[in-house]
Amino acid sequence: MGRCYRCGSQFPGGIAHSSTCPTCAQVEEAGLLREETVSLREGIEESQAEVVASLERLTAVQQQGFEKLSHSLAEVSSIIEWGFAEINWELQQQTEILRSIDHTLRTPSQTQANEHRIMAEELRKRGAFDKSIGLFSQALLLFLWTTAYTLVKRSPIWTYNVRGHVKAAREGQVKSGQ
């Protein structure tokens, strides 16, 4: 029979004073398990603390990222708003230019009269009075013709009378030309 070197009790099997009884072996194993459990618990607590610290750092980095993103989005929004305002301004400028071109195209006689007037003023400045007077006369005739045509076109009574006079004048020219 063996004798437990811890508690001194006898148990079947084993060598005297060199073995442990099953009860002491279980107690010793339970102690080892307790030490391992405590060690594992401490390891888990340390791991949890590291995870919590990592999550806190991650949260801080994420918060900074969102703050930077928010600031950047505000800048992008401002830039886009400025861009649309710039496009709107350019469209308004183009609209004015297109209206001017449309006006010029709709009133070719008036445009031509203005061009004759500008050329006549240049010639007057240079001292070419004869040519200047001719261009001023052409500009005046074109302007008067355009103004009269506009008035006639807008007045139904005048339109009827003028058409009758123009028709009579044409017939008279045709008869006198024959």
Q: Are 145 and 109 in contact (CB under 8 A)?
A: yes
Residue-level pLDDT at 80: 93
Distance CA 25, CA 31 (A): 10
Residue-level pLDDT at 176: 45
Q: What is the pLDDT of residues 100-120, one digit of tens each?
A: 888 878 777 788 888 888 998
pTM: 0.34
Distance CA 178, CA 155 (A): 34
Query: Any idea where the domains of the chain sit in the sequence?
Result: 108-178
Distance CA 42, CA 152 (A): 106
Distance CA 35, CA 29 (A): 10
Distance CA 26, CA 7 (A): 13
Q: What is the pLDDT of residues 67-98, one digit of tens each?
A: 888 888 888 989 999 999 999 999 998 898 88
Distance CA 98, CA 40 (A): 83
Percent of the residues in the chain that have a pLDDT greater than 70, as a whole number: 76
Beta bridge partners of 19: 4
Q: What is the pLDDT of residues 159-173, one digit of tens each?
A: 555 555 555 555 655
φ, ψ for residue 13 (rounded to 5)? 85, 175
Task: Name the token pair of 119.
Answer: 């050329």
Distance CA 110, CA 101 (A): 13
